[in-house]
Amino acid sequence: MKGSKGFMTINKIMVVGSGTMGSGIAQVMAQHGYEVILNDIKPEFVERGLQSITKQLDKAVSKDKMTEQEKEATLKRLTASTDYTDAEDVQLVIEAATENKNIKLDIFKKLAEITPEDAILASNTSSLSITEIANATSRPEKVIGMHFFNPVPVMKLVEVTRALTTDDQTAQTILDLSQSIGKTAIDVTDSPGFVVNRVLIPMINEAVFTVYEGVATMEEVDDSMKLGANHPMGPIALADYIGLDVCLAIMTVLYEGFNDSKYRPCPLLKKYVEAGRLGRKTGRGFYEYA
Ligand code: CAA
């Protein structure tokens, strides 16, 4: 399963960021035979990421979806790192660090210097311009977006986002790689929100408006969309799941990127973010979590 029928063979990958997205990406890559270095700024962050992967794999074994041997082989392909120089022999970096432009630009700049000059540098960003990230590096033609969805092991899509400068070889390699890990990839041009978030986040924002305007309670809005539109999760619960700060950041990118009032973030969404009620990750968003 490993490798790529594209132009470049990928065997070894560094995933930068060991949070929910980074550890999910690392898990899926390792499960499909790739050697993965999981990197973060502190050893305890990486350890937490590896523990969450082990927990997911244990679950898969208990459900007979994976053998104990496959689990052990997957874990063996994962190594921990807090040093970018560990990426000196990788063919690909997938960055899934915090959604902060300056942090990401710095990571890309540094990794472009450390990695082999033909290595691809991909970002899992959900809201920043891939073109701007590419421009911060010495090889913008090798920079691309590889946008996964949460939970990564379950969600089948990868948005492969070309910067203005991305070359065809890079794009084809990442499209093939996405397929090799059992995902469906779409080939999109860099544009605010790409495809999924451009459609999904305004829907969530509109759901928050219906609560804000007193049209219905949040439970009623969620039940309506689950029962009336067959969504697996209501939009308010999904907002908590994604993170209200992330939803607001994406809404703001759409608002500013298209300069169109139809993307104005709901004041209630802003208020929750200002209150630090960011959703599941802080134990409280629109709903409360034990
Ligand atoms: N990691 C791995 N597997 C997971 C998981 C996780 N974090 N969470 C759930 N699963 C698996 C479960 O193990 C279960 O697997 P089996 O069918 O093999 O038993 C399966 O998913 C279903 O899980 P549950 O039965 O626990 O619960 P559910 O049926 O309610 O599904 C859900 C949970 C998959 C999260 C579902 O509610 C769902 O699809 N919700 C919508 C998620 C979504 O829209 N994500 C995209 C967000 S946008 C984004 O990520 C991009 C961005 O830039 C903001």
2 pLDDT above the threshold of 50: no
Ligand 1 proximity of 163 Cβ (cutoff 6 Å): no
Q: Which residues are annotated as a binding site for NAD(+)?
A: 17-22, 40, 99, 104, 126, 150, 281
* Mean of per-residue pLDDT scores for the chain: 96
pLDDT of residue 7: 67
6 pLDDT above the threshold of 90: no
Helix axis angle, 267-274 to 244-258, nearest 10°:
130
Q: Which of 276, 285, 274, 198 is nearest to 239 (CA)?
A: 285
Ligand 1 proximity of 197 Cβ (cutoff 6 Å): yes
pLDDT in tens, 176-214: 999 999 999 999 999 999 999 999 999 999 999 999 999
Query: For atom 36 of ligand 1, which residue has the closest CA?
Result: 232
Measured CA to CA, the distance from residue 69 to residue 58 in angstroms comes to: 11
CA distances from 169 to 1, 64, 174 (A): 20, 38, 9
Catalytic residues: 126, 147, 159, 197
In terms of C-beta density within 10 A (0-12 exposed, 13-18 middle, 19 or more buried), how is residue 113 classed? Answer: exposed
74 pLDDT above the threshold of 90: yes
Q: Which domains does the chain have, with CATH numbers?
A: 12-189 (3.40.50.720), 197-279 (1.10.1040.10)
pTM for the model: 0.95
- What ipTM was predicted for this assembly? 0.95
pLDDT of residue 99: 87
Ligand 1 proximity of 151 Cβ (cutoff 6 Å): yes
Q: What type of residue sits at position 25?
A: I
Query: For atom 15 of ligand 1, which residue has the closest CA?
Result: 154
Q: Which residues are annotated as a binding site?
A: 17-22, 40, 99, 104, 126, 150, 281
Ligand 1 proximity of 238 Cβ (cutoff 6 Å): yes
pLDDT of residue 8: 80
Query: For atom 42 of ligand 1, which residue has the closest CA?
Result: 150
pLDDT band at 1 (very low <50, low <70, confident <90, very high): very low
Residue with tokens 């980074």: 22
One-letter-per-residue 3-state SS of the chain? CCCCCCCCCCCEEEEECCCHHHHHHHHHHHHCCCEEEEECCCHHHHHHHHHHHHHHHHHHHHCCCCCHHHHHHHHHCEEEECCHHHHCCCCEEEECCCCCHHHHHHHHHHHHHHCCCCCEEEECCCCCCHHHHHHCCCCHHHEEEEECCCCCCCCCEEEEEECCCCCHHHHHHHHHHHHHCCCEEEEEECCCCCCHHHHHHHHHHHHHHHHHCCCCCHHHHHHHHHHHHCCCCCHHHHHHHHCHHHHHHHHHHHHHHHCCHHHCCCHHHHHHHHCCCCEHHHCECCCECC
**Ligand 1 center–CA 280 separation, angstroms:** 14
Ligand 1 proximity of 153 Cβ (cutoff 6 Å): yes
Q: Contact 192/252 with Cβ under 8 angstroms? A: no
Measured CA to CA, the distance from residue 280 to residue 290 in angstroms comes to: 9
Measured CA to CA, the distance from residue 24 to residue 55 in angstroms comes to: 12
What average pLDDT score do residues 62-91 get? 97
Q: Contact 97/16 with Cβ under 8 angstroms? A: yes
pLDDT in tens, 108-139: 999 999 999 999 999 999 989 999 999 999 99
Ligand 1 proximity of 62 Cβ (cutoff 6 Å): no
Residue to probe by mutation, ligand 1, list 154, 225, 226, most atoms within 8 Å of CB: 154
